[in-house]
Amino acid sequence: MLKVGINGFGRIGRIAFRIGILKHASEIEFAAINTSGSMETSGWAHLVNYDTIYRKFEKEVKAEETKKIEAVTDEDPQIGNLLVDGKKIPVLAQKDPAKIPWGKYQVDVVIESTGRFTTEEDAKKHAAGGAKRVVISAPVKGGNVGTFILGVNEYKGEAQVLSNSSCTTNCVAPVAAVLHAKFGIEKAALTTAHGYTDDQNLQDNSHKDLRRARAAAENIVPTTTGAAISTTETIPELKGLFDGRALRVPLITGSITDLAAVLKKNVTVEEVNQAFKEAAENPLYKGILAVSEEPLVSSDIIGRSESAIVDLPLTQVIGGNLVKVFAWYDNEWGYANRLIEQVIRVGKTLGEGTKAPTDPLTLSWSK
């Protein structure tokens, strides 16, 4: 059984926890959870049990308090346990990743989901506490860390730290991979209409990004996205040829990416859509990429586990080789599904004689 630790019990950490328990209990065991220390254990249990978007958790999670937060020490940062399915999961409150005692709990893989420790140097601090591998749930911001997207490129066990990149990258990379493998991409740009996140303000207030300073639930907020650049880490032929922007919209989740690409050959809408229909049937994309011919809106995507749901009626071709493809994604639930699956793949590389799949979709199609 793969033992997993979570550092950062915010939106992604908690949703990944739910998914791990609901869908992968036979493959992984949560051995410890390190929190920000902003609440007692009972508070974290409450936020797992009740969620504004995903509603009440199917499992009952109870809290066992063992220590007040102010009594935490570096030697013993445990504040309590979460009780679920007859198991006790230690809850910690240690702000320094180098001091989290992962080894004490025999943790194999750490999910780094604080959003703070996204450089190689910071993420590797988990090794000081005994972690064997670290999966960052965000694009990396420094160091020699590989980006791996399920269905596009595969982790082979070569590094201690890897990035699962962002929800938008997990959406757009498979879409770009299909287009590039089938038709060839000369250059591309993306725009994602993305639900707001806790890096924005509830009301107008100070922020280093003056657009994100404005009220998240009342504005469309143009901002940056690293998804295009991260995608080129998984499809190196597109480096320098792909960029994008994000529009944060007044929704918590249910996002859509608009990918515009100049292709190397002329195509029709039917040919493009057929390529995605075939990709959706490819075992390499099972559960990762889907297609829809229904007139969907954002609320229809909530709770979908795929990384990308290509909206076929929205596909456009202009002048023969300028293509626009729209793909929906639940930027929380869909991403957290890939995160847990990535952790399981990483765990398999730790076992003797067990290797992760190494054939990306881009190698299985003729261009």
For the annotated catalytic residues, the residue numbers are 167
3-state secondary structure the chain: CEEEEEECCCHHHHHHHHHHHHHCCCCEEEEEEECCCCCCHHHHHHHHHCCCCCCCCCCCCEEEECCCHHHCCCCCCEEEEEEECCEEEEEECCCCHHHCCHHHHCCCEEEECCCCCCEHHHHCHHHHCCCCEEEECCCCCECCCEECCCCCCCCCCCCCEEECCCHHHHHHHHHHHHHHHHCCEEEEEEEEEEECCCCCECCCCCCCCCCCCCEHHHCCEEECCCHHHHHHHHCHHHCCCEEEEEEEECCCCCEEEEEEEEECCCCCHHHHHHHHHHHHHCHHHCCCEEEECCCCCHHHHCCCCCCEEEEHHHCEEECCCEEEEEEEECCCHHHHHHHHHHHHHHHHHHCCCCCCCCCCHHHCCCC
- Token code pair at residue 179: 């287009």
- The CA distance from 20 to 156, in Å, is 22
- The CA distance from 188 to 176, in Å, is 9
- Token code pair at residue 332: 């929380």
Closest-CA residue to 360 (of 150, 171, 145, 135): 150
CB 65 within 8 A of CB 50: no
